[in-house]
Amino acid sequence: MSDSKIMSYENAMHTALKYANQRELILWGNDAPFREYLKKTHNITIEKTVTAFEKKVTDNRIFFRSLKGQSDKYYIILPNIQPSAIFKKRLLLLGFKEGKDYIFIRRSKTVLPAGYGTYRDPYGNVVQTGGCRVFLSPYAENCEIFVDKGFKGDFLIRVFGKGGVKVRIGKNCKSSVSSRLFIHDGGEFTMGDGVSIGDNTKFSVSANNRITIGDDCMFSYDILVFSGDGHAIFDMTTGQRMNSYAITDPKGSITMGKHVWICAGVYILNRANIGNSCILGANATVKGDIPDYSIAAGNPARIVKSNVTWSRNPDAEEIGECFTNWNGFPLEDNEKS
């Protein structure tokens, strides 16, 4: 049995057992591999099957129309039926609501275009797309994604795995083409106001990791911000995983202050803590602490100059232009020290 099928079975049973309570589980149609999985993994045997043919009704076969008004008695699992508006409407007429009273195993990913507005589903996902495209995996539950309506440009947010992610993108942000955020189970991503993102910039948040970006940061192009290793790493002696972090573990985070300029080709890796008003030189690989008002360059990045700042205006003549965020308000005094 493939890993993707096992994941779909696990996800369906997680939802079913969460909502079923004391109701009897029944299958719509037959699926021998799923029954085998239930017996082996959960020690559950489902006796009754829903059929669309009245002439096939037996003690263990229920004619679907007889389910009307029986949502307090049964929880339906649909292994082989593809979700469709018509089928959902049929179940609703019987008094069954998706998630709460039944679950499709063959869920497909959710694709929300930029400007979609607010999306809610029976699996606890709440998304305000703003100006971003959002893809939710077929297994996603309890995702909280908020993008300000003023976001401009081409930016993709893609949720992998079982969801549980939190994403918040502030006001007046914009991106160029092919920039994206990939985020996995339990990850968190926060972007402040007035952030600009160049071409082909990728943010990646591994499971239970997080990236936090302050106001008025400026990303050039071909940048990778990677909170996590991308794959599981194990200790051969103990057999324990070495790179799995709780959401509160600072080892699984990247933080960036306000007004940071990230030049072309920069890699920012796990455990990076970048202060306010820094400049990260082209092709630098950044990990660890970069103090406020520093220029860091090289691989690995080192501080090459301190006590500096920068302006978005290439023709700026006054340092006062450097201490402003997107909306023109000066940074707080304690952020200049």
> What pLDDT, in 10s, does the model give residues 240-260?
888 888 777 777 899 999 999
Q: Tokens 């920068």 belong to which residue?
A: 310
Quickly list H helices, 21-138.
Answer: 32-37, 85-93
Residue 32 burial (CB count, 10 A): 8
**Residue 126 β-bridge partners:** 120, 144
Provide Rg for the chain, Cα atoms.
25
The pLDDT, as a whole number, for residue 324 is 55
Q: What is the DSSP letter of 150?
A: T
User: CA-CA distance, 33 to 148, in Å (whole number)?
Assistant: 44
Strand (E) or helix (H) holding 13: helix 3-20
- For the ranges 92-101, 183-192, 326-335, the lowest mean pLDDT is seen at 326-335
What's the full length of the chain, in residues?
337
pLDDT tens for residues 106-117?
888 899 999 999
For the cut 70, the answer to whether the pLDDT of residue 171 exceeds it is: yes
The pLDDT, as a whole number, for residue 323 is 65
In which band, very low, low, confident or very high, does the pLDDT at 332 lie, cut at 50, 70 and 90? Answer: low
pLDDT tens for residues 3-29?
778 878 888 888 888 889 889 999 987
The pLDDT, as a whole number, for residue 7 is 79
pLDDT tens for residues 114-133?
999 999 998 889 999 999 99
Q: Is 200 exposed, middle or buried (0-12, 13-18, 19+ CB in 10 A)?
A: middle
The percent of residues above 90 in pLDDT, for the chain, comes to 57
Instruction: Find the mean pLDDT for residues 196-206.
Output: 96
Q: What average pLDDT does the chain have? A: 89
Q: Is 330 exposed, middle or buried (0-12, 13-18, 19+ CB in 10 A)?
A: exposed
Stronger pLDDT, 35 or 203, i.e. the higher one: 203
